Amino acid sequence: MKNLALVLTLAACSKATPAEPPAATSPPKVVKGPTASAGDPDKLPPAGQAPEPVTVDKEVPMWNAQIKTLKGVETKLAAYRGKGLLLVNVASECGLTPQYEQLEALQKKYGGQGFTVIGFPCNQFGGQEPGTAEEIQTFCSKNYGVTFPMMEKIDVNGDQRHDIYKTLTGIADASGHQGDIRWNFEKFVISADGTHITRFSPKTKPDDPSVIAAIEQALPAK
């Protein structure tokens, strides 16, 4: 009887419906962090009203001033002529350093329209850019995904002021400030033909509608 029961049990098991495979799980939803969100060009506001730019001679000396990229390659600002430019002195340890996020968003949105941001690391404000060229490059890439050109560390004020900034500091902003750079992340928007420059204070964020308006006016004519 025991053997008969065992046979009946085995037969029942052989007819049982096989277990369903586990249901396929959906891939986890990607949630953007604060850097990715801020760096998203779709998050940029529409253009507002740009301040009146300062008109300059298109042959001002800054275009031919020698400078090296952060990777040590010799270049000149003239290499970027024909594009709308946003020049900005940057630092890695400043309270304004998160502005890199919006700068990169501007690069993504307008880079294909004849525009580029150019960063100039500077250690003159609170010693907030102390790193080597390699350390600065790694910091910008790892933390903010920077793709726009970065130049060597320079002085923007004082006796060793770089020739590019000898021109830029002669430009007044909308408040009438002219002269020395006030802090990290002071911005200059230059028109594609090189004849108009608009200056913005460090605290004016790159995604401020007035900055965006100046950039759109600076783009090369279609």
Residue 75 Ramachandran class (φ > 0 left, ψ -120 to 50 alpha, else beta): beta
What single letter denotes the amino acid at residue 5? Answer: A
| Bridge-based pairing state of the strands 115-121 and 84-90 | parallel
User: What pLDDT does 35 receive?
Assistant: 62
What single letter denotes the amino acid at residue 21? Answer: P
For the chain, domains (ranges, CATH) are 48-218 (3.40.30.10)
- CB of 70 closer than 8 Å to CB of 151: yes
- CB of 157 closer than 8 Å to CB of 124: yes
Separation of alpha carbons 197 and 40, rounded Å: 26
User: What pLDDT does 209 receive?
Assistant: 96
Q: Would you give per-residue pLDDT tens digits along the chain (222 residues)?
A: 444 444 444 444 444 444 444 444 444 454 555 565 677 899 899 999 999 999 999 899 999 999 999 999 999 999 999 999 999 999 999 999 999 999 999 999 999 999 999 999 999 999 999 999 999 999 999 999 999 999 999 999 999 999 999 999 999 999 999 999 999 999 999 999 999 999 999 999 999 999 999 999 999 998
For residue 122, indicate whether it is catalytic. Answer: no
How many residues in the chain?
222
What is the value of pTM for the model shown?
0.84
